Amino acid sequence: MQKAVVLHSRAYREGSYICQLLTEFDGRLTAIVRVGRNSAKFEPFNLYTIKLSQGRADLFFVDKYELDSQLAILTGKLLYSGLYINELLVKLLQQTLHSELILSWYIQVIYQLKLSDIELESVLRNFELDLIDELGVSVDFDTCFDAFEPIQADMQYQFYPEQGWSSKVAPWLNLPIFPGDIITKIGERDFSEVEILKSAKLLTRRWLDHLLAGKPIKSRELFKRMNR
């Protein structure tokens, strides 16, 4: 038995669902679960205790599950934010990645979504940067890769996802330009100013789009529709 959350599910057969799960001991995996008429719902933003059995290849079966707790009741912008977090994990976390810390981290992020909208952008930017760290592709926020010199507060830089910060700004490349002092603040996770949050969002969007390699994020479209 182990703890697990549902990241995504879709109908499979009558009463059965194919689910993307984030588990305590087996990381992210795909499993089929049968939900009986009198059974507890098996859905996102709840914490469950589950029993798994191995199916074919990387497919598992949920033989038993019990609802432990409801992590959060999310609506509106908070719900779309939760769906965004789940979608990134499904599309970027390696399947069967072993890490007991990932589930605990995820639970804390969902708890944080219950804060006010003022804090929401900070929660999302921290999550994105933590995910990038977990994927092992983070970069140095203190040094530029081309000159091997410290980031200077009064200079400007451009970002390359596979390398880091470049002091050789090339406007014709149509890449966003970041002031050095903003880069330092993002590296320190200091999101106390609106301008820092805007720059952090621009940075993580470019970084994650590179990692997604063209895979669309459907929850972003939900945000756009809501804000129209």
Q: Where are the beta strands (DSSP E) in 103-192?
A: 156-160, 164-166, 177-179
d(C-alpha 205, C-alpha 176), whole Å: 11
Residue 214 pLDDT greater than 90, yes or no: no
Average pLDDT, rounded, for the chain: 87
Residue 22 pLDDT greater than 60, yes or no: yes
pTM of the model: 0.89
d(C-alpha 175, C-alpha 169), whole Å: 9
- Is residue 113 within 8 A of residue 81, CB to CB? The reply is yes
User: What are the sequence ranges of the domains in the chain?
Assistant: 2-114, 115-227
- The average pLDDT across 178-201 equals 94
- Reported as a single tens digit per residue, the pLDDT across 46-72 is 999 999 988 787 889 989 989 999 898
- The average pLDDT across 13-17 equals 82
Q: What pLDDT does 227 receive?
A: 61
Question: What b-and-e string marks burial along 42-65, b requiring 16 or more CB atoms within 10 Å of the CB?
Answer: bebbbbbebebeeeeeeebebeeb
Class of 2-114 in CATH? mainly beta
Say if residue 19 is exposed, middle or buried (CB neighbours under 10 Å; 0-12, 13-18, 19+): buried
Question: What b-and-e string marks burial along 67-77, b requiring 16 or more CB atoms within 10 Å of the CB?
Answer: eeeebbebeee
Q: What pLDDT does 222 receive?
A: 72
Fold match, 2-114 / 115-227: no
pLDDT band at 117 (very low <50, low <70, confident <90, very high): low
Q: Identify the architecture of domain 115-227 in CATH.
A: Up-down Bundle (1.20)
- Is residue 5 within 8 A of residue 106, CB to CB? The reply is yes
